[in-house]
Structure 1
Amino acid sequence: MKTLLQALLLSALLCMAPARGAELFPFVLPWDDASANLTNLAAWNAKPAGKSGFVTRCGSHLCVGSERIRFLGVNIVFGSVAPDHATADKLAARMARFGINIVRFHHMDSSPVPRGLLQKDMRTLDADMLERLDYFIAALKREGIYSNLNLHVGRKYPGFKDWGEPTPKYWKGVDNFFPPMIEMQREFARDLLLHRNPYTGNRYVDEPAVALIEINNENGLLREWRVGGLNDMSEPYRGELQQQWQRWLRARYKDSAALRAAWGLREEPLGAEMLAGAANVKGGESGWNLQLVGGAQAALAQAADGSLTLAMQAPGKESWHTQLHQSRLAFKADQPYTLSFRARADRPLKIALQAMQAHAPWQHLWAQSIEIGTGWRDYRFSFAPSQGDEMARLTLGGLGLGTGQLQIQSASLRPGGVLGLQAGELLEAGTVAILGSDELMSRTREQQRDWVQFLWDAESAYWTGFQRFLKTDLGARPLILGTQVSYSPAPIQGQLDVVDGHAYWQHPNFPGKPWDIDNWKIANTPMAGLDGAGTLADLALRRYPGKPFIVTEYNHSNPSHYQGEALPLAAAYGALQDWDGLFLYSYGAHDGKWDSGMIDRFFDSHANPVKMASFIAAAALFRRGDIATARPENDPLPAQSVWIDSLRATYKMPAADLLGAPRNASLARQVSIATPAGPALPLPVKSDTGELLWGVDGVQGKTVVIDSPRSKGLIGARLGKAYDANGIELELLGARNDWGVLLATLIEGRDFTGPGRVLISALGQVENTGQRWLDEKKTTVGRNFGSAPTVVEGLAARVRLPVAASRVRAWALDERGNRREEIRVTGRERATLEIGEGWRTLWYEIEIK
């Protein structure tokens, strides 16, 4: 008997042992499983989808019939949009099991078959792929899962010649104003949406299980212009935009005289020289300084006549890793300045000229890209900074990725200069120039405003015109959304049925070529408890009040140690903000290998056991409404002129925080683009509902607390003590990173006093077998993502319930969510459950009798 008791005690101690440094163990959720157990939420979906009619707008939210609906979804991408029939049935059943009630069909147009719906001509829908898509949508419908159909995502329209680097990817911005591309978008829409699905009997324009039609993903004329994507635009695109600009001007001004009077001419005499002539080769406070970062190697020499020679010997990892600058400069907003110099290079170079802050946040006050040839040339620029700064600098950058020699003579920067219409610009002749983003500050403020207003009007006409085409010409009955508010101003998108946002916490950064799997990194730090609210503030402060708001792409990227926080945080605060939809990007299996048992690089979710296990709690928090909605705002929207000036002066798509709203306000109450300026909110921040607390101090960081009647949780750093969530005590005892996600979700029952059943989710580190970090900070694995099976950590934690232990039983669950092994519950008046690595699972079931 003594030996048996010792063995039982040892077993219990192993199961409760802190997981810090513990070995990861295999845990693979079957790709085709829909087991009927506590983790199956399929009954939450009304079946079939659309049985009560189309999804409609009811005020500022989404409804089906008279009932409010919130969407929790995933993205299906590329060839995975068209699985075979058997696979489609299994995928639909599994998605419903995890509480998913909508699928966004994305990147259907980006590649030819078998990775997309289009044939090799990139215009004709492939009959076989379309048939499989039809069946998949019908299978989802049977499981109560709606669809969101995307019309343009990644197709490079055939037959159009680009202008080399940097032609915008997927023709972003250009396809907002270039009529032949718009017509090609409409052709695709006609072919897809007027097609009749043989498995539902409906055309997609008439299909109630299609909740949303999305016009053009992550696309916007204003945004693409602002980031410089249209600066080097060639014909016929430049000519088309020029014609539209002239028509806009003629509708506004009688003649060139009226135009000149409205825009004015700013001319001021040149003042004293601002630049120091000396070069500080090793860096200093004045004169020219050479800055090298990221392994870049270069030498700066100065001749007796003051001319500079920059010899670039080895590139760095990003364009700014080699740059020349002069600091100790002061600029005044809207004051003309004139920069001039003479330059040549041993090979053609493109350099970035910037007047910028010499301190965080390093904002640009003026910027322009120029090309330096092999022959001597004089350069002269007049500009007016977008804002003033007493601690600024002039930078010659963009040199960090190349080698060669650059020579500069007679550099001068002086206050004064001429701003306004240039010689030969006449309204009657149609020669008033379109402006690249790097030319804007050489014009008067009035001209800048007119140019941005023109782009605003052109972009608005594209989105509203395409919505009108879908609804009037095609007769589409699903709701229409345009694009995302980080790519297009929220007031423009607010003219459509639904407003959308995208956000990623620590999206992988590619310092060289885009999506170079050998050269990328992530920051690998948690978001929970962060001052400034991370992606949640980015989204919430761009919401357009009065319209449904959804987030069709969200993720915290693999291989971060902190992926388990993604859905619980977004779901909890999305519910607080009263959003209408949340989609994880993406479900995965781009190549159709659904049974791989491993995470496919950055965004795969279907084979990520931590991400998938978190769906259950997220569905309760968001869909079921376990987190109460915060009180709404009634603040007036900023005038359109405020948005125009913000776009004129900054490189970011405007949001309320750029206009002074405190970012942490998104943690306390409902916010939007109308949220007014106000003082910062210090951490911790409690929601006005009292159910969420952001920024509690922990052992090595901060934590978010969830405390609602049916959901409890700790997300973030180990607190070092138990947290009492209104009678439910939660304590993270140990984890590999002193960090974890511990969630208690009441699946059945009224409250935690029972009777009922509770799901405990304990989510920590996850990766593939054999994943290998390449640096000490664990920011990249290169292509070493490992192989099957996925492995996870088992958090050590303690949960106490306000009921006697005699009323409680508990089990560790297997990969299908079935009861695998019963766990001893201790305590008398307060039932206590201790979990740990020894149970080799992510989730547990508690039954309260």
Structure 2
Amino acid sequence: MLEAPRSAPRLQVAGQAAAELTETRGPTGELLRTVTVSRPSDQGWHVQVLWPAIAIRQGTVYELKMRLRANRRETVVLSCGQDHEPWGSLGLWQQVPVGPDWREHVVYFTSSESDAPNAGGQGGGRISLTDLPKDGFQVSVAGASLRRAAVYGLPTDEALGGAAWVLKRDWFRRTVPCRLDALRFMRDAEVTYYKDMVAYLHGELGVRMPVTGTAIGNTPPHVAAETVDFLDSHNYWQHPVFPGRPWDRNNWYVRNVPMVNDPAGSTITDLAGRRVFGLPFTVSEYNHPAPNDYRAEGFALLAVYGAWQGWDGLLTYTYAHQDWESDQVTTFFDLKADPVRLAQQPACSHAFRGGGLGPAPRRAAAELSLQQRVQHMTEGRPWNFAPNAYLGGVDRLAWQEAQLGIAVPGLGSPQRTNEAADVQWQVGADGRGFVSFRGRDCAGLVGFAAGRTLEAAALSLSPGPTSLDGFSVVTINAVEGQQLGAPGRYLITAVSRCENRGMGWNAERTSVGTDWGEGPTLCEGVPLTLNLPAGRSARVYALAPDGSRRGEVEASAQDGAVGFQLGPRYRTLWYELVIGN
């Protein structure tokens, strides 16, 4: 089917990559197509072989087969997707290994929707051999074919009561009833295991602390709701991608984009949909990994929306894997020597634990039947076994206005609400986003906020331009428990981006390979105007890294109002504001 004239393969080369496709004949006369990459890229789709103009029918099980050989051991991707905008997946994205010996790969998948070429033979679906733009890489393909697969329930040598486990490679060759039976068995076994373990820990051993199982995504929310004391989840914005060997520190990239521009695709959307009402919910791993230029937004958004949703615990990942005293950023997740992530920790902790930011005044709940959940999981994979609230019909942005979660019979619903808090996530016509929040004793702006003013009680904050087109994170937190604007001490945190000296960025600014540069880390100061109304006495101090006062910021007066111009000249990310009686 893939060798039909209408769908003859073509080589796609994009970005900075360079590659060529040649055709030769093998010893038996078989047509061999070889891709040779002469200039690499960190985007897998920048070099790929495409078989376009294919008709795909939703719900059909397909068998994709091809033989591959490469000049070295690598991992490539076989996929089926749209050959037109928005270039979405049609049900297949699978990594396969390649090496110096010919190897036949056979993969099965169920198409997620129908697609077909138009009358002119354009559009429809396409098969891709992708993730190829690796330096000096050469891969050959032969015998590519796509056809409807024969599906079956039990093999002829098996019977009910004595069936072997369904292996991953055979999953999509089995009938849907067979897959549903396998998932029901797996679910029941997991429920039994967790119930027995929790009973043993609490009963026989006398463990008093709450017990949970594995992160939601590796177990479904409803299984956790039946068995453990609380639910936990993990999430990362733009986790590093390793297009070749897993965790190859020479071959990786991150998409260097801000989350604040994409609320629907954000980590908050994913996390909110996994929560179950009536049980505590924690996030025990979270980060916006380096060297993303916009990583300063991560913990602020997690803290604000964690409070807004009424979640129960947030943990950052991680302070350091090794070399605790380093003066430079050396890896993706370590917070050590990363001032834009470290400096926010006090402000974020306060905003989440006691800043008066939530929970949201409304509740948006989804109910999912067992049939819905198991059906959904027939397409699941590890880290994605999570039938969520959106499957139950809740809008993907409902968490912006309400506490979002899954309703399970027998469990309670949120009791706490906060009518006074104001949390807004907005994206402008130019595609740039920002979040503003105001609680009882904290407030702030996250994202592209240059030129905007945040009014918080008797205070106003106006961030200025930065090298990231006005992107910054600015927060103010009451230190002594007072309401915003009341006399007392306040912590002001203002961050934008930081990086090491001499980092070896690639052309797309998505990777530095192993060249993380040298310390100490350099930070960008954020221009910030702070104003208080007439009749108020106030002083502002620039703070040293240990929080001690390093110098006083000069005040200005206009029509009786008090103003302060904070910014890079003070060489700090922290300020102390003291409002007098």
TM > 0.5 fold call: yes
Indicate the residue corresponding to 1:613 in structure 2.
343
Residue identity opposite 1:582 in structure 2: L
Q: Which residue matches 1:518?
A: 250
CA pair 412-735 structure 1, distance change in 2 beyond 3 A: closer
Q: Which residue of 2 aligns with 1:733?
A: 464
In the other structure, the counterpart of 1:672 is 405
Amino acid at match of 1:362: G
Instruction: Report what 2:179 is aligned to.
Output: 448
Measure how far apart 1:368 and its partner are: 7.7
**What is residue 624 of structure 1 aligned with on the other side?**
354
SS state of the match for residue 470, structure 1? Answer: helix
**In 2, Cα distance between the equivalents of 1:780 and 1:715?**
24
Farther off after superposition, 745-754 or 346-355: 346-355
Higher helix share: 1
What are the superposed Cα offsets for residues 780-821 of structure 1, whole Å, 9 maximum, x if unpaired? 22223233323212211101123535x112211112211221
- Higher gyration radius (CA): 1
Kindly state the Cα deviation for residue 721 of structure 1 after the two structures are TM-superposed.
4.0
Distance 2:108 2:518 in 1: 57
Give 2:556's aligned amino acid. T
Alpha-carbon distance between aligned partners in 1 of 2:146 and 2:297, rounded to the nearest angstrom: 52
Aligned residue pair count: 549
2:65/2:107 contact within 8 Å kept = no
Q: Give the letter for the 1:308 counterpart.
A: L
Q: Which amino acid aligns with 2:489?
A: R
Q: What corresponds to 1:241 in structure 2?
A: none
Match of 1:426 among 151, 159, 163: 159
Q: Secondary structure at the residue paired with 1:584? A: coil
What is residue 411 of structure 2 aligned with on the other side?
Answer: none
Matched, 1:435 2:166: yes
- Measure the CA separation in 2 of the matches of 1:397 and 1:707: 49
Measure the CA separation in 1 of the matches of 2:397 and 2:378: 26
User: What are the superposed Cα offsets for residues 97-156 of structure 1, whole Å, 9 maximum, x if unpaired?
Assistant: xxxxxxxxxxxxxxxxxxxxxxxxxxxxxxxxxxxxxxxxxxxxxxxxxxxxxxxxxxxx
Q: Aligned ranges for residues 648-727 of structure 1 at < 5 Å?
A: 648-651=378-381, 652-653=384-385, 654-658=387-391, 660-674=393-407, 691-695=422-426, 697=428, 701-727=432-458
- The alpha carbon displacement at 1:692 in A equals 0.9
Look up the match of 1:264: none
CA, structure 1 residues 607+426, in 2 after alignment: closer, same or farther (shift >3 Å)? same
Partner of residue 564, structure 2? 833
8 A Cα contact 2:221 2:274, kept in partner:
yes
The aligned residue for residue 536 of structure 1 is: 268
> What amino acid is aligned across from residue 732 of structure 1 in structure 2?
P
Letter in 2 for 1:413: R
The question of whether the paired residues in 2 share the 8 Å contact of 1:811 and 1:822 is answered with: yes
Moved more, 613-622 or 383-392: 383-392
Which secondary structure state, in structure 2, belongs to the residue aligned with residue 645 of structure 1? Answer: helix
Q: Partner amino acid for 1:526?
A: P
Out of 188, 201, 205, the position equivalent to 1:474 is 205
Q: C-alpha separation between the residues in 1 aligned to 2:403 and 2:563? A: 37
Q: 1:745 to 1:794 in 2, by over 3 A?
A: same
Q: Distance in 2 between matches of 1:819 and 1:735?
A: 25
Counterpart residue number, 1:151: none
Q: Does the 8 Å CA contact 2:64/2:147 hold for their aligned counterparts? A: yes
Is 1:743 aligned to 2:469, yes or no? no
* Equivalent in 142, 147, 151 of residue 413 of structure 1: 147
Aligned-pair CA distance for 1:548: 0.2
Question: How many Å separate the matches in 1 of 2:525 and 2:31?
Answer: 60
Query: What's the counterpart of residue 9 of structure 2?
Result: 288
Q: 1:813 to 1:275 in 2, by over 3 A?
A: closer
Question: What residue identity is the alignment partner of 1:363?
Answer: S
Q: Does 1:313 align with 2:36?
A: yes
Q: TM-score, normalised by structure 1?
A: 0.58
Distance 1:667 1:640 in 2: 28
Change (3 A) 1:532 1:366: closer
- Kindly report which structure 2 residues correspond to 1:500-579, keeping only aligned pairs within 5 A, or say none: 500-532=232-264, 534-579=266-311
Query: Helix, strand or coil for the counterpart of 1:585?
Result: coil
**Residue type at the aligned position of 2:8:** G
Q: Name the counterpart of 1:800.
A: 531
Counterpart of 2:313, as a letter, is G
Kept in 2, the 8 Å contact 1:699–1:717? The answer is no
Residues 90-101 of structure 1 mapped to structure 2, 5 A cutoff? none
For each residue in 1:627-654, what CA deviation from the matched residue of structure 2 results, as whole angstroms up to 9, or x when unmatched? Answer: 0211353635301221111111355333
From 539, 547, 563, the equivalent of 1:809 is 539
Residues 433 and 571 (structure 1), Cα distance of their counterparts in 2 relative to 1, 3 Å cut: same
Q: CA deviation at 1:365?
A: 2.9
Q: How does 1:25-40 map to 2 (within 5 A)?
A: none
The equivalent of 2:316 in structure 1 is 584
The alignment status of 1:633 with 2:363, answered yes or no, reads: yes
Which of 327, 332, 338 does residue 57 from structure 2 map onto?
A: 332
Sequence identity percentage: 30
Query: What letter matches 1:408 in structure 2?
Result: G
CA spacing shift, 1:529–1:802, aligned 2, 3 Å: farther
C-alpha displacement of 1:555 = 1.2
Unaligned 5+ runs, structure 1 = 1-273, 279-284, 676-686
CA contact 1:386–1:441 (8 Å) conserved in 2: no
Structure 2 residue identity aligned to 1:712:
A
Distance in 2 separating the partners of 1:275 and 1:321: 21
Match in the other structure for 2:412: none
Structure 1 stretch 744-753 or stretch 390-399: which is displaced more?
390-399
Shift of 1:601: 2.0
Given that 2:151 and 2:175 are in contact with CA atoms closer than 8 Å, whether structure 1 keeps it comes out as: no
Which structure 2 segments of 5+ residues have no match?
117-122, 409-417
Q: Report the 3-state secondary structure (helix = DSSP H, G, I; strand = E; otherwise coil) of the residue aligned with 1:327.
A: strand
Gap change, CA 1:352 and 1:594, over 3 Å in 2: closer
Whether 2:10 is the aligned partner of 1:277: answer no
Give distance in 2, aligned partners of 1:355 and 1:533.
22
Q: Report SS of the residue matched to 2:545.
A: coil
Using the size of structure 2 for normalisation, the TM-score is: 0.83
Aligned CA distance change for structure 1 residues 340 and 825 (closer, same or farther; 3 Å): closer
Change (3 A) 1:563 1:352: closer
Q: CA deviation at 1:291?
A: 4.1
Partner SS state of residue 646, structure 1: helix
Q: Secondary structure at the match of 1:638?
A: coil
**If each structure's strand is expressed as a fraction of its own residues, which one has the higher value?**
2
Q: Distance in 2 between matches of 1:373 and 1:584?
A: 39
SS at match of 2:402: coil
Distance of 1:601 and 1:392 partners within structure 2:
41
Indicate the SS of the match to 1:365.
strand
Structure 2 counterpart SS, 1:748: coil
- CA deviations 1:511-558 (Å, max 9, x no partner) are 222222222222222222433151111111111221100011111112
